[in-house]
């Protein structure tokens, strides 16, 4: 398995990551998604980071955050 080159995570990256997981946790707590859906999103982005790198994670998170309303279904 080949991995994308790594780079240091920037403060602006953490803002996107925090915003995504804050929105996801709020959705879970408000009943907009199940525990299983929440676990899916967490493991999806862990796997994406491992296999594709932080840039792809940030792009995907920004895409989801840009949806109105966010579509949490799998």
Backbone angles phi, psi at 68, to 5 degrees: -130, 115
Spatial CA neighbour of 38 closest among 26, 53, 51: 26
Q: Domain total for the chain?
A: 1
Q: pLDDT at residue 3 above 70?
A: no
Q: What's the pLDDT score for residue 4?
A: 63
User: How many Å apart are CA 45 and CA 30, to the nearest integer?
Assistant: 22
The pLDDT score that the predictor gives to residue 74 is 66
Domain assignment present for residue 1? The answer is: no
Domain, as residue range, for 37: 11-65
Residue 2 lies in a domain: no
Residue 31 falls inside a structural domain: yes
Within a domain: 16: yes
Write out pLDDT tens, residues 7-60.
Answer: 788 999 999 999 999 999 999 999 999 999 999 999 999 998 888 888 889 999
Q: What is the 3-state secondary structure (H, E, C) of 28-55?
A: HHCCCCCHHHHHHHHHHHHHHHHHHCHH
């Amino acid at each position: 398995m080949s991995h994308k080159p790594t780079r240091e995570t920037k403060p602006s990256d953490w803002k996107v990551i925090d915003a995504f997981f804050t929105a996801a946790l709020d959705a879970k707590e408000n009943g907009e998604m199940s525990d299983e859906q929440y676990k899916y999103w967490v493991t999806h982005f862990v796997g994406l980071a491992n296999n594709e790198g932080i840039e792809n994670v940030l792009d995907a998170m920004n895409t989801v955050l840009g949806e109105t309303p966010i579509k949490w279904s799998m």
